[in-house]
């Protein structure tokens, strides 16, 4: 490979890595949900926590470290739905981006 080819290849890899980072940040921001006056990020940790207490109301910290009493069933449904929607969209966009590369 010539020096110019190596430079082009490294620039393409850097651009792809930057696109992936921006895509991750985009979908992480879309994982936020409001519930009972608190702000939560849908994800495996939250889903596992509320799954431990089905049918109960518990107090957990939101993203701003404020204690919030939540209905576990409602929050699990909200968070699970948001998680799946955004992860599917993220995967589709990542697949499209990888095919273009």
Question: Mind listing the pLDDT tens digit for each residue in 4-62?
Answer: 888 888 888 888 889 999 999 999 999 999 999 999 999 999 999 999 999 999 999 99
**Phi, psi (degrees; rounded to nearest 5) at 69:** -85, 125
Residue 1 has pLDDT above 80, yes or no: no
- The tally of domains found in the chain comes to 1
pTM of structure: 0.82
Q: Tell me the residue range of the domain where 37 lies.
A: 3-100
- Other beta carbons within 10 angstroms of residue 70's beta carbon come to 24
Tokens linked to 35: 């519930």
DSSP 52: T
């Amino acid at each position: 490979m010539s020096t110019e080819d190596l430079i082009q290849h490294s620039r393409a890899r850097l651009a792809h890595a930057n696109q992936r980072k921006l895509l991750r940040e985009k979908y992480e921001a879309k994982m936020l949900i409001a519930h009972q006056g608190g702000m939560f990020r849908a994800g495996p940790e939250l889903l596992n926590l509320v799954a431990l207490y089905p049918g109960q109301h518990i107090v957990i910290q939101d993203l701003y470290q404020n204690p919030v009493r939540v209905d576990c069933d409602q929050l699990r449904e909200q968070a699970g739905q948001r998680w799946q929607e955004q992860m599917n969209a993220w995967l589709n966009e990542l697949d499209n981006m990888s095919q273009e590369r």
